[in-house]
Structure 1
Amino acid sequence: MIDEIFGRPSAKFKRVQCFAVALAWWLIITRGNKHGPPGIRSLSRALTAKITAWQIYVLTLTGYYLLKNFDKLIGLTPPIPFENHYTPGFYRATWVMQALDAGFWTAYPIKNKYARDLLSIVLTVYYLIFSDAANEKVRRYRLKTTVESCRVSWEKGRNPYAGAIAKLLLPKINIYKDVFVKRPAHSEYEEPVECLLLFDGTAEQLKNQKKVIYHLHGGGFTTMEPKLHEDYLLAWATQLKVPILSVNYRKAPEFPYPYALDEVFDTYYALMKSKGTIIGLSGDVVPEVVVTGDSAGGNLAAALELKLIDYPKKIKRPAGLVLTYPALDMNFASALSEDQMKLIRQVTKETATPFLYKNKKDVYQSYAGDAHKSVRANKSFVNLAQQQKVQSQQPGSPSEQGPGNKLSLTSKVLYSGDRVLPAEVLYTALMLYAGDTECDLSKDYLMSPLLAPEEKLAQFPKTYIICGEVDPLVDDTVLFGAKLRQAFRDSGRKNPEDLVEVSIIKGYSHGFLNMVPFFPEAKAPIHKLGFWMEEIFDNVLPEERNIDLNEDDYSTDEELVGESYANIDEEGGDVKAPRKKKTSAQKAWDKTNIVHPGGLVEGRQDKTKNSVIGEIKNAVVEKL
């Protein structure tokens, strides 16, 4: 309290204050009169004769508890954010996540890694019990979000104790290997791309495979790796019996846009041109590939398809896309445009998901309170069918104009306080991914696939998209699905409605694929995603995605490829193979990937500190 009185709050001073208060009371108890200061000594002697020390202790704690919760006792409890937005199961999952974040962030400053790892788990248990303290701790850290805080939060699986517990729940598969893919000759880069190969079968069975799942993981472009997405990757591997190649693309801010996209493109190119031999396939045919990605990985998956469409050489494009809560628009507008609102109304009607549209109205009403009870407000909140009828009769009415429509607020604004993906984290991820790259966020469709022109979207394959109802990125999902459907329809594609499927899960937000250990309900959408991939493979139209193998500039010579499938024997075991000496670029990257179990990477630097974007970020943080 003292530092607040002086107007100079300081974490360092708070620590001194705690020690000072504890020391003062210790001296009063040990050196002062045991019955307290003059004036209450007679009362202390009388109470001591009638009640025990234990009773005094319990009464003291009870009195403190009642005093601390006095506002709740008299009915002045503050509102609980998102108390009715999430399903009970999802809210419990966010409770665990908040406790984990608070525990790991609190323990991170400890230098000894063994103590830090253990204390992270102990503090997590503490914050599970004292959830209000966890919420406050998380709120404060997120007000000053950095790349390091994101990595501590999202890479908790690196903690040996948390990782060991998680692995007990995971299925076992035969092939689970790191693969280093050599860059194609046309690539601007020389260092190979690190990937993870998963397959539930032997090397001989892998050799006969003709299908591949090409996976791009999420993590805000700044953190995580394929091995931290094992919960659903292993589930798909056992469900589909298809090899999964997951790209461990390099992260921002060390490698800003478009480095990750170029890695994803080069690896896909190598996979196609080598006919899958780089991962152990026979090479008899070019494999059918389904590209899937979640969050940032969903962005890269859609951008990969667009880049393949733009590429002058013929490459066999994916048989389909499966996107999970993808980040498809890097522009943080506060309101949807008029055209976007029309698309949302159309897709809401066509897909029978009016609850999504209604939920935005409910959120606005929770902000407006009693003010929305005016006649004008009530008229603006008629049901969807009535509103569409009114707008069709009055095409120029104010209710149809984007910024003037209360329902046109973007999901990034409406759900900016989300317990999983708040606005601070979204904003930080965008800045770090963009870095110092000169790109126009309002036009670059490889960074924001939602901005892609219709003639390019019309060439997309079968696309499935799934997202939570109250996810800050739900608008990206709905709008992208609507734009794809419209592009397919306008280009004359057969059965355009069947080429896009958008699934919105009520009461879910972001990141549920990684919540399986404490959110078992996530197994259902994981299985659904696997079913979608299986459906794409079963309905392939190869004539639409030809490949010109005469333009092959990719070598599958084992000596050039380096360590890849050569370390897998016929039974799926290890075979020692000489590894090619690492380049200087690889060695530099390895040095930046010395990972502390708490989640941080030693030696990494936030490039935004020395950039114009970094100055803007620091200014925003200071104002907050």
Structure 2
Amino acid sequence: MLDHLVGKPSANWKRIQVILTLLIGYILACIQNSSAIFSLLTPFSSAGQSPWRIALGACMAYYLLQNLFLLVGLNAPEPLARLYKRSFYRATWILTALDAGFFTAQSLRPLWLRHTASFLFSIYYLMFADAAEDKVRRVRATMSVDQMRLSWEKGAMNPILRFFSQLQRPRLSIRTIYSIERGPELPPIELYFFYHGEPATLADHDTILLQFPGGGFVSMPPPCHEDALAAWAKQTGLPVCSVNYRKAPEYPYPWPVEECFDLYLKLIKSRGKIIGLSGEKDIKIVVLGDSAGGNLAASVTLKILAHNQYVDQQKEQRKGHVSDSHIPVPTGVIMIYPALDFELSCWMTPSTLSLIRAESTTQMIRSKSLQSLLESKNHLSHSSPLSVVPDVQKKPNIFRRTLGPLTPTEKKKLREPPIRERVHTKDETKAAWETSRLAMTSRMSFFNDRIITPDMMRAMAILYLGPHAHPDFESDYLLSPVKAPLDLLAQFPKTYMICGEKDPFVDDTVIFAGRIRQAKHQQRQKNLDDDPLLADSTVRVKFLEGMSHAFMQMFAFLPEAHQAARTVGDWVLELAEKKPDSQSSCDSSNADENSACGSSSSSSVASSDEHQQEALLTAAAARNAIEMGAVHVAQIVTSEKDMIHRRKKELVSGLYSQIP
């Protein structure tokens, strides 16, 4: 328990805990009449020792034998000792104890007894962390749908936890639930609505934050995300909507994608009137999603882009029907640790690994987290092929350290060489190690993650796909957005992503961001008249060091969750200040042209002066370039300075190439 309080698995802290426990037990056994309870047992004492002392001594002996190897230094190494940040590891300890307590009390009846026992059992498992981890591991091995929902929805469903959570949330002026009609034969869409400002000012807004909540496609309705939703409603001052899409296995793929897409159309068509806006002007929608919701956010955006592309190809538009005309693209897409690839593969292809390497070396990112991700895929550079953190030199035991400094030979013995040094290779093949590297996906590298285990990933994938699905994992981009074609990714709106560096889904974030950047680069190469400095759509990525999945669900005991929420809120505010990509005022299939039209004001769009419009676009692009340098945001875009330098270099090379 002490090492969990400190936030780092440590054999030394466990030894201290064992010694303190034995010492306290010994003191209690030596004190005469140590408590009123023990004094009541004196009539039952024999001529020798008191019964309670005998029981206490037996427990101490058992506890000593159980931790004997730990005390003498023969314990197994801690696999997670240097993997997570201290605060995150401490948060996972609390979550694991809560899960174990709720699993233990799951079968109790009536309901009030189950809620109370779940909370009390969780306190017990906080003190006995090893028992909690063993309990959760056994349950997750054959986890059912009810157990998934019990584990992930406990914060919103248990009245005790819900009470403590509500104490931290800001008060909202409007919190209601709308039922949006979808069609004559389809059930309505349940939409949660949050607003922090004065109710009289709601109708004046023209920007909406639309959130698709995560939960593995099987659980976690909007109330489970209310900590973050309330924080964003207060920080941004915008109307915040969260859709309670229907979950698997009752409604498998593609139901959630279609339901979220239909809701987006309803909001666009009504101009927000169905949620209390005036409905007199076009609205801008910022789409946000975490985990499975990030998948839905990307899928809905791709579905919109594919529809617009189809309309352009058919060259026909029918006025009055949103489905037959261009659908306005979201002002921006924000994804929080998204799950974007359903191909649960083990090995990374050379092209994918090259994309990650390019993102970590050629971009102006200089992120320790991204470098750490790349190093974790160099499996042969560690003493263990399963290690994902740098090796550390072993320390000599305490008896050897008392004899004096180590000799060079002894130091060499303490250092365990990496696997690469053990391999017998020829000199000409050594250079190939840097370009050809055996690498596993993050899903397999972080196999022992404390939040998302392989068993849970398999269960969620099976439930979401359903019993009759046979998707093509290499081409179905609504299921796996990371597989989307480049022509659609080139039209993607401004995209912001945030993820933990130790997340099993971190590869999805890096690869998807890299593919968008690659698609836009190719699009700009085709359009020679398009200045890269005028590019409106960019990709920003922020990695949280030492963090894994679901940190946005840890508001109550993880300070970094509040910082991440503020970062996302800053992104929403930045996107809300921009003009939407209005297809009605500027009809074009080119994504950069759409962005340019969205960046100009309505009066500029109506103006026939092309030079004036171009000046406004240039000013907007310059303003966007300044915003690129926002604090604590890592960008996967080429900086302006580097862009100018490369253009000068290409110009000089072009001049020399013309010399005969």
**Could you say whether these structures have the same fold, taking a TM-score greater than 0.5 normalized by the shorter chain as the test?**
yes
CA separation of 1:106 and 1:363: change in aligned 2, threshold 3 A: farther
**1:314, 1:547 within 8 Å by CA — same for their partners in 2?**
no
- The reply on whether 1:439 has 2:478 as its aligned counterpart is no
**2:384, 2:419 within 8 Å by CA — same for their partners in 1?**
no
Equivalent residue, structure 1, for 2:342: 330
CA drift at 1:78: 2.1
Equivalent residue, structure 2, for 1:115: 113
Superposed CA deviations along residues 367-400 of structure 1, whole A, max 9, x for unmatched, are 33857344366999xxxxxxxxx99x97xx4754
CA–CA separation in structure 2 for the residues paired with 1:363 and 1:136:
31
Match of 1:375 among 418, 421, 426: 421
CA–CA separation in structure 1 for the residues paired with 2:584 and 2:373:
35
Equivalent residue, structure 1, for 2:497: 465
- The reply on whether 1:534 has 2:573 as its aligned counterpart is yes
- The reply on whether 1:520 has 2:559 as its aligned counterpart is yes
CA–CA separation in structure 2 for the residues paired with 1:184 and 1:273:
14
**2:326, 2:583 within 8 Å by CA — same for their partners in 1?**
no
CA–CA separation in structure 2 for the residues paired with 1:547 and 1:225:
37
CA–CA separation in structure 1 for the residues paired with 2:381 and 2:158:
40
Name the aligned partner's letter for residue 525 of structure 1: A
Superposed CA deviations along residues 102-159 of structure 1, whole A, max 9, x for unmatched, are 1111111123211111111011001000000000001111111222221111010201
CA separation of 1:53 and 1:372: change in aligned 2, threshold 3 A: same
Name the aligned partner's letter for residue 158 of structure 1: M
Question: Which stretch of structure 1 is more off in the superposition, 309-318 or 475-484?
Answer: 309-318
CA–CA separation in structure 2 for the residues paired with 1:69 and 1:289:
58
Equivalent residue, structure 1, for 2:326: 314
CA–CA separation in structure 2 for the residues paired with 1:546 and 1:441:
37
Name the aligned partner's letter for residue 77 of structure 1: N
Name the aligned partner's letter for residue 376 of structure 2: N
Equivalent residue, structure 1, for 2:590: none
Equivalent residue, structure 1, for 2:548: 509
CA–CA separation in structure 1 for the residues paired with 2:471 and 2:556:
39
CA–CA separation in structure 2 for the residues paired with 1:240 and 1:341:
38
Q: Extract unaligned runs of 5+ from structure 2.
A: 1-44, 312-324, 388-415, 525-529, 588-660
**1:363, 1:414 within 8 Å by CA — same for their partners in 2?**
no
CA–CA separation in structure 1 for the residues paired with 2:284 and 2:425:
52
**1:328, 1:476 within 8 Å by CA — same for their partners in 2?**
yes
- The reply on whether 1:365 has 2:382 as its aligned counterpart is yes
CA–CA separation in structure 2 for the residues paired with 1:417 and 1:146:
20
**2:493, 2:537 within 8 Å by CA — same for their partners in 1?**
no
CA drift at 1:438: 3.3
- The reply on whether 1:72 has 2:104 as its aligned counterpart is no
Matches within 5 A, 1:409-424: 409-424=440-455
CA separation of 1:239 and 1:98: change in aligned 2, threshold 3 A: same
Equivalent residue, structure 2, for 1:352: 366
Q: Tell me, what secondary structure is at the counterpart of 1:214?
A: strand
**Root mean square deviation, CA, Å:** 2.5
Name the aligned partner's letter for residue 464 of structure 2: Y
Q: Tell me, what secondary structure is at the counterpart of 1:542?
A: coil
CA separation of 1:173 and 1:202: change in aligned 2, threshold 3 A: same
Equivalent residue, structure 2, for 1:158: 157
CA separation of 1:210 and 1:440: change in aligned 2, threshold 3 A: same
CA–CA separation in structure 1 for the residues paired with 2:425 and 2:541:
30
CA–CA separation in structure 2 for the residues paired with 1:287 and 1:526:
24
CA–CA separation in structure 2 for the residues paired with 1:306 and 1:514:
27
CA–CA separation in structure 1 for the residues paired with 2:565 and 2:152:
19
Matches within 5 A, 1:579-594: none
Name the aligned partner's letter for residue 359 of structure 1: S
Match of 2:233 among 237, 258, 277: 237
CA–CA separation in structure 2 for the residues paired with 1:243 and 1:411:
36
Matches within 5 A, 1:551-566: none
**1:184, 1:270 within 8 Å by CA — same for their partners in 2?**
no
Q: Tell me, what secondary structure is at the counterpart of 1:133?
A: helix
**2:190, 2:244 within 8 Å by CA — same for their partners in 1?**
yes
**2:177, 2:190 within 8 Å by CA — same for their partners in 1?**
yes
CA–CA separation in structure 1 for the residues paired with 2:425 and 2:204:
63
CA–CA separation in structure 2 for the residues paired with 1:367 and 1:242:
50
**1:211, 1:288 within 8 Å by CA — same for their partners in 2?**
yes
CA drift at 1:54: 4.3
Superposed CA deviations along residues 286-342 of structure 1, whole A, max 9, x for unmatched, are 111110000000000000000001124311110100100000000001011111011
**2:384, 2:418 within 8 Å by CA — same for their partners in 1?**
no
Equivalent residue, structure 2, for 1:604: none
Report % sequence identity.
37
Equivalent residue, structure 2, for 1:559: none
Q: Extract unaligned runs of 5+ from structure 1.
A: 1-46, 381-389, 549-624
CA separation of 1:547 and 1:265: change in aligned 2, threshold 3 A: farther
Equivalent residue, structure 2, for 1:594: none
**2:355, 2:511 within 8 Å by CA — same for their partners in 1?**
yes
Match of 2:144 among 126, 143, 146: 146
TM-score w.r.t. length of structure 1? 0.74
Matches within 5 A, 1:35-74: 49=47, 51-74=49-72
Superposed CA deviations along residues 379-424 of structure 1, whole A, max 9, x for unmatched, are 99xxxxxxxxx99x97xx47544xxx23x21000011221001111
Equivalent residue, structure 1, for 2:203: 207
CA separation of 1:112 and 1:366: change in aligned 2, threshold 3 A: farther
CA–CA separation in structure 2 for the residues paired with 1:329 and 1:448:
4
**1:372, 1:378 within 8 Å by CA — same for their partners in 2?**
no
Matches within 5 A, 1:180-195: 180-183=179-182, 189-195=185-191
Q: Tell me, what secondary structure is at the counterpart of 2:168?
A: coil
CA–CA separation in structure 2 for the residues paired with 1:547 and 1:254:
41
Name the aligned partner's letter for residue 191 of structure 1: P
Name the aligned partner's letter for residue 567 of structure 2: K
CA–CA separation in structure 2 for the residues paired with 1:540 and 1:377:
58
CA drift at 1:203: 3.0
> Does 1 or 2 have the higher relative contact order (CA < 8 Å, sep 6+)?
1
CA drift at 1:81: 3.2
